[in-house]
Structure formats: structure tokens, C-alpha cells
Chain A
């Protein structure tokens, strides 16, 4: 297993490089002169030229890429001109908040998605199946930002059960219960779509597996039906559910941006939107590369989980 993890890590290197190339290429598309964008339109030509030289912008694109890449490998992502702060510090701080939000949502969508899909398959065409199928359809059709806004209206404004927004209470907060308290609504709103997708896939994967011969063998052995469903069938279905969980992880990680805006959550998505609107290019670049790299690494975790589950995968 150790060798397999190393192998997967090595195979992630070209993907990570590819990501940096894509991000660099997209950013190179930016029309106009970045130095002018930074200094404003009243800058003198001398100043623009000097900044261009300082930023290395007078060199050809491929050289600039390698300089950028080499700097990043040393943890040097540049400075955000708007925040006047190293990009990496800002990104790490914001990513922490996003990770709490997206991580919770990921756990929620995994548990409830698989649960709902399995119950739905086990009770195919029964009322539970119909109710879950309808809820799933509603879940995958509702925009998460609209859902979040409606949740604020209902649970925070009308019922006053939960805080309207933010990560901590302004006065007297800051501990774990306070964080969890603020986390309930945004994490749920973010998890709904992913839960729907996972539930849908779990249902069809389970139905596929329940037709297999080894399920009949389990029944012929006298295994109780509950165990047939939740152990034999679900374990086999997990082989096709796990890859989808990987995709959903990327979805909650990047989809967090809407929720962060709606709930004023100080995450990286909100930072990126602000950076885009203020054209803080280095911050966008650094943030996107960082999040994408984390996602690639997470997918290795998914692959390892898959290999642990399925002994047929050559490790």
C-alpha cells in the first residue's frame, strides 16, 4: 500500500504541472498591461516600465512561467497589491475557513447521500423511494445560493434559531460550539446538491449490485436481508460510489464560493471573487493553483480508499 501511495503521488506531478500551465495560460490572456492595472491609468511610463521589469513582465511568457513556478515551489506566491500582504498568507488563512465549511458538507453529503440512496434502492418503488427520489430531484435543482438565502429567512430571521451569517459571534464567540453553531446552515446549504448527486448514484449502483449473483449467494446462505443490503450490497456498490465522492469533493470545495458570499463566510471563494472584481491577479492565480492542487491531492486519498476497499485493484 505504501508503494501504491508513492506511485500515485508521483503520477500526480504531471497533473499538478498541467494545472499551473493552464492557470498561467488563462492569466496570460488578460488584455492590457498588468502594470497599468496595478498602478492605475495615471502612472508615468517610467514607473510602468520599472514595475514591469520588477515583476519580470518584460520577459517572454515561457520564462515568466518558469520563474513563477520556481517561486511557487519555494512557497513564494507573490504579494497581493490590494491587501499588501503575501498571497500565501491570505490563501492559507482563507482556505482554512473554506476547508471547515466544505469538509463538513462533504461529510454530510457522503453520509446522507449514501444512506438515502441505499434506502431508496432497498425500498425501490415504495413510498420511501418515491419521497427520496423527489427530494433528490428538488435538491439537485435548487441553486445553493437561493437555498441559503431562504434558510436565512426561515431559520435565522423568522424563527431566530440560528445565526444569520459569519463564522463566529462578534462578541464572546470564538470557541468550537460557537463555530459549529454558525456552521449548521452554510454547511447544510452547501451539502444539499452534492447529497442529491451522491444519493442518485448510490441508488443506481445499489440496484445494479442487488442483481448480482453474489447477492443471491448471500441470501442462499441465510444472511438476514438487512445485512445483505447494508454489508454485501453496499460494500460492492461503494466501488462505484467512491469515485463520485471524489468529484463531489471538488464540487463542495469550489461551490463553497456561493455559500461564502451568502453567509459572509471568510473563505477562499469569497476572496477569489473580490480579487477578480478588483483585478488582483496574483491573488487569483495563487488561490486557484492552491485549491486545485489540494483537490488533486485529495483525489489521491480517494484512490487509496478505493484500493483499500477493492483488493482487485493492483497496488
Chain B
């Protein structure tokens, strides 16, 4: 079973399992071990040190054998702790299932009660219960179980609410099954794993808590002793005979720690996010692992040379970007277009090493900005360029703006991390930026939080932020995708003006040919991590060479052109962890020939217009016009 395999790979979890197993085994066989009577007092042998004759761990204040008392005490503590956990889990789960399944008033009343119980500081409630029932181990067990019931009830209710509205539960109800049967046969089996996990994380607590009550003298009563009351009795002789305290104390520590280790191991083994790497911290810059660096100077202000970016997840390698070369001149707008998953966003993020890493790795190529290679650049140098010379505009500004800072502060920060200006000055500049992107009442809006703005306004804030330091290049990753058409047109015209006024180079990533036609001078079409066609916008749009480009253009509905047959491209792009040797589009291509699938296809044509196709739709001229 893969769960057990994953658990066994977690070395600490395995250690916990082994230690716990040994302790439980010892506790189980205690009655048949050749131990002395744990309650036999011998006043002559008081406080014998460990390793004394006949007493391996020494004796306590009444001359009782510590080893024997330790094992019997462990047995008792484990029993009580586990019993409390089982009782709390059973009652808590029952309450949670009833509340979650029936919902409505039942749920309301029950959960109100649970909230009341949770309003008590944890141990205080246990003390109150013991106060009522009187000191004693059984009463301590009841108290500890009772204070843990709300925890289980709340967790299980959450799960049950989700289950109660599933189709199969509705089906069972319609087929005339009673509530009790539905709960037992449909709900319970799905809830049990959650109960077990919740128990594994709380049983350590319960052992600690019962030990605590016994330590206070409210749990097990003399002469029987669990670990807690052993420690409580030993406290009087802490200074003169510390070993009587250390022995039971260490045992509690060992038991609880092994349970916690095991619990963590179980949780980690079950957590899918941990496996997929969704809980790893991305580094400040993407990892770089290049065998060689392409020579030569880049064209334009920003040039990508054979850039390769991969995602390494476990043993799998996803080639998201497989050798992309591009460049953009000052004042020029280059569009990158492709379906989702074609690698266009990863290409854009790779420029400034912003691909989350792990799992992202830049495995080849270079990014030249003014003849400096941005790939593998020292983090400090990279950071100085980020947002200052090369800035980004991201899609979905609700997620990309910090939810807890005012937009004015976020703009101010963008300025102040690169320029030594006063806060006042930066704030004024921030308001100025908001005006430039045509936000009405800019001075007021600077005080807003992102969630208080509309999508179009937030997107403008994103643009203002990119403009904060008057960069040379702006990389815009689908900045208009989330917007409605009128707002989209406004945002595009803002970008277009800026490009003309400031000589800004723009790399514009989109999946929308309409946007490309409106804004871009040149366009590059991406498919499965590679550029398949590149050229001036009007040439590519009017005279596409690659069949993919043609199909992509035909799949766009055009306004005002009347009814037209829309073409959809059959099939799906190939998975980037398993690319075919030849043309990646071949399996979906209507014009596919046998030679398409044999070897990698190079870019053919000229600097002006090129396509990765050996059977192009229009002949590609070798030389520029």
C-alpha cells in the first residue's frame, strides 16, 4: 500500500512507530514480567539510586521498586490516555455526525453548545469536572475525554456537512433508507479515516492531560500510580532524590514524543499537497542549471536565446519551455500568443527568474538585457533590475495585489525599494501614477484596499505599479483576460499610449488574437513550449504559415463579420513531460505528412517571418523583404 510505503519513508515517523510499539509491548507484557510488587514498601531501602542491587532504576520515598512502578504506571497512563481518546472520538463524532447530517436547528443548537464548551480554557473545564465528580483516575479520564469532545464534534461536523449533500447520500435517501441506516452505511465509512487522524494527533495530548491531572493529585489515588502521580509524589524529593522525578518524567516525554512523531508521519503521508510540492517555499529566484550559455549579443533591448525552463516534480520532468528565442526593441510591442499550457506564462516569468522554484528550473539558454545575462545573475543584481528596469503586469490583480496593504502603499513601496525618496514624495508619485492610468479620484483611491476596487481599477493599479520606476521593458501576462470588453479596450489604450510616449518595450502575453491585432507590432505563436511561428502581426494574421496558427485564427469569432464557420482544433496539446520527437502539433494537424513526426522541426523562413513547419500554408521566403 502506498500509504504505508510513504510512511516508512518518513524516518522520524518510523522511529516514532518503533518506539511506541516497544513501549506498548512493554506495557502489555508488564503483568507477566518478573517484576517486584509495585506497591511493596520497604522503608529501609528508601531513595535507592538507579543501578542499585535488586533495583535497576532505584526506589522511591517508600522504598518501592521504581522499574516496576514505572512499567505499571506506563500501562495505566497508556490505557487511560487511549480510553479517553476513544471515548472523546466516539461521542464527539456522534455529535458531529448528527449535527452535520440533520443540519438546520439541530445543527445550530448542538454547535452553539460546542462553542460554549470551547469558550472555556481547556484545562479549566477539566478541573471543573473533576471538582464535581471528585478526584480519582476514572473521573480524570471522564474529564479529559469530555473536554476533547468539542474538538472532535467540530471536525467531524465539517466533514459530514460536505458528505450530507453528496449525490449518493441523496440517492440513498430517495431509495427510502432510514436516517440511521444512511448514517451507518453511507456517512460513517467516509468519516472514520478523519476520526483516526484526529485521534492520532490528540491522543498524545490526552495522555499529557491525564498525567497532568494525576500530577495535581486529582487523578489516580495512592497506592496505584500512573506516570503523572508518580511525578507528583516525587516532587517533594525533587532536590534530594531527583531520579524519582526524572524516571517517570522521561517516560511521559518518550511516549508523547513517539506518538507525535508517528502522528506527523501519518499526516504527512496522507497530505497530497506535501507530495505535489505545493507546500514548498519558492526561492527568491528560479534555480538555474545550465550546461552551456549561448554566445553572442542579444538583439533589441531584451532578447531570449534558446531559453529552456522545466519543472522537476519527483522523477518527472515537465518541459514547459523548450528553447524559446525572442527579442523586443525599444518602443515595440511583441505579442506572445498560445493556448493555456503552451508555456507562454512560464516563458515570461523566466525572464526575471520568477518561476516558482522548486519545482521550476531554468535548464538552458540566456536572457540578454542590454547585453547582461539575466539567467543565473547574482540575486542582488537581479533584484535591482526587477521592477526597476523590467516590470511585470500580472493577470487577476485580486490575487496578485497584497490584500492587506492599501494600493497607495503598494505603489509607494515599488518606488522606494529602488529610489531613496521620502515617503511623502513617493506617495505623491503614487497618486500621480494612478492618474496616469486614468483612475478617477486618484488621491482617494490610493487609500483603498484591493478588495474595495473593481477588476478594471485593480488592473490599472497593476499597470501603475509596473510603471512606477519608468522601466525599459514591461512584461504583461494576460493583463486583460479577466476584464470585460470595454474595460479591456481602455486598459489596452493606456498601454499603447505609454509605449508611444515613453518608448517602452512591451512583451504582451495573451490568448486573444483580437488583442494582438490591436496592440502588437510583431507576434510569436507558442505551442507545447516552443515558438511555432513568428513575424509581423499583419503578416501572421493575414498569411499564417503554420497550420496551427491558421486554425487558431479561424477559431476566433469576429464581431460584425456575420455568421462564419468557427473551426475548433480537435484533440489536446501533448503533455509536456512526454513530447513527440517531431512536430508537437502533428497529431492534431490536418496537413500532417509522415516526415513531420520523424525529427525535430527547425524554424524555417527568415528573420522577418518564420515558422516551425516543413509543409507551411504559405511559402516562407528565405530572405527578409
Contact = CB atoms under 8 A, between A and B. Distances in A.
B238 A152 contact: yes
Interface in A265-301: 269, 272-273, 275-277, 281, 284, 288, 291-292, 295-296, 299
Contact of A214 (B121, B122, B391, B402): B402
A213 interface: yes
Interface string A227-258: 11000100110010000000000110111011
Interface in B254-295: 256-257, 260-261, 264, 278-282, 284
A210 interface: yes
B284 to A, nearest CB: 4
Interface in B216-271: 216-218, 228, 231, 235, 238-239, 242, 245-246, 249, 252-253, 256-257, 260-261, 264
B516 interface: no
B121 A291 contact: yes
A7 interface: no
Interface stretch (B155-163, B318-326, B380-388, B546-554): B380-388
A246 B155 CA distance: 19
A221 B414 contact: yes
A214 B129 contact: no
B186 interface: no
Contacts of A218: 402
A216 B400 CA distance: 8
A47 interface: no
Interface string B522-542: 000000000000000000000
A221 B282 contact: no
A87 interface: no
B29 interface: no
B403 interface: yes
B449 A296 contact: no
A305 interface: no
Nearest to A310: B404
Contact of B216 (A125, A208, A261): A261
Given A26-B132, A30-B132, A257-B127, A149 B238 contact: yes
A223 interface: yes
Contacts of B212: 143, 145, 258
Given A153-B242, A291-B121, A141 B253 contact: yes
Contacts of B249: 143, 146, 149-150
A19 interface: yes
A273 B127 contact: yes
A239 to B, nearest CB: 8
A169 interface: no
A212 to B, nearest CB: 7
B204 A141 contact: yes
Contacts of B404: 235-236, 239, 309-311
A273 B217 contact: yes
Interface string A118-153: 000110110000000000011011110110011011
A133 B602 CA distance: 51
Interface stretch (B111-119, B571-579, B605-613): B111-119
Given A124-B281, A142-B253, A204-B279, A221 B403 contact: no
A27 B132 CA distance: 5
Contacts of B399: 212-214
Contact of A276 (B131, B235, B252, B401): B131
B124 A292 contact: yes
Contact of A296 (B119, B217, B418): B119
B552 to A, nearest CB: 27
A235 B218 CA distance: 43
B127 A276 contact: yes
Contacts of B228: 143
Interface string B88-123: 000000000000000000000000110111011111
B128 A284 contact: yes
- Chief secondary structure at chain B's binding surface: helix
Given A221-B413, A221-B417, A258-B215, A228 B284 contact: yes
B211 interface: yes
Nearest to B143: A26
A19 B116 contact: yes
Interface in B488-522: none
Interface string B395-424: 010011111110000000110011000000
B502 to A, nearest CB: 19
A292 B212 CA distance: 20
A221 B451 contact: no
A213 B396 contact: yes
Contact of A143 (B253, B261, B383): B253
A40 interface: no
A26 B235 contact: no
Contact of B129 (A26, A124, A150, A220): A26
B354 A216 contact: yes
A145 B235 CA distance: 10
B133 interface: yes
Nearest to A284: B131
Contact of B122 (A31, A145, A250): A250
B141 interface: no
B463 interface: no
A59 interface: no
A146 B231 contact: yes
A288 B284 contact: no
Contact of B402 (A208, A217, A269): A217
B394 interface: yes
B135 interface: yes
Interface centre among B284, B392, B401 (most CB of A within 10 A): B284
A157 B239 CA distance: 7
A281 B124 contact: no
B116 A18 contact: yes
A145 B221 CA distance: 19
A103 B309 CA distance: 51
B272 to A, nearest CB: 14
Contacts of B417: 221-224, 227
Contact of B121 (A121, A207, A258, A295): A295
B130 interface: yes
A291 B127 CA distance: 12
A219 interface: yes
Given A143-B208, A277-B217, A254 B402 contact: no
Contacts of B401: 214, 217
Interface string B422-452: 0000000000000000000000000001011
Contacts of B246: 150
B352 interface: yes
A313 to B, nearest CB: 11
A288 B127 CA distance: 9
Contact of A219 (B121, B122, B386): B386
A122 B238 CA distance: 41
A242 to B, nearest CB: 12
A14 B171 CA distance: 39
B195 interface: no
B457 interface: no
A29 interface: yes
A121 B281 contact: yes
Contacts of A204: 279
Contacts of B282: 210-211, 215-216
Contacts of A146: 231, 245, 249, 252-253
Given A142-B253, A275-B131, A277-B135, A213 B119 contact: no
Given A221-B414, A299-B119, 5 more contacts: A121-B281, A143-B256, A214-B403, A225-B379, A292-B121
16 contacts: A141-B260, A153-B239, A206-B281, A211-B279, A214-B399, A216-B394, A219-B284, A224-B383, A224-B417, A227-B417, A235-B405, A254-B122, A276-B218, A277-B218, A288-B128, A312-B449
Sorted nearest first, the 9 A-B pairs with minimum C-beta distance are A254-B121, A18-B116, A146-B249, A250-B121, A222-B387, A141-B257, A254-B123, A222-B386, A221-B387
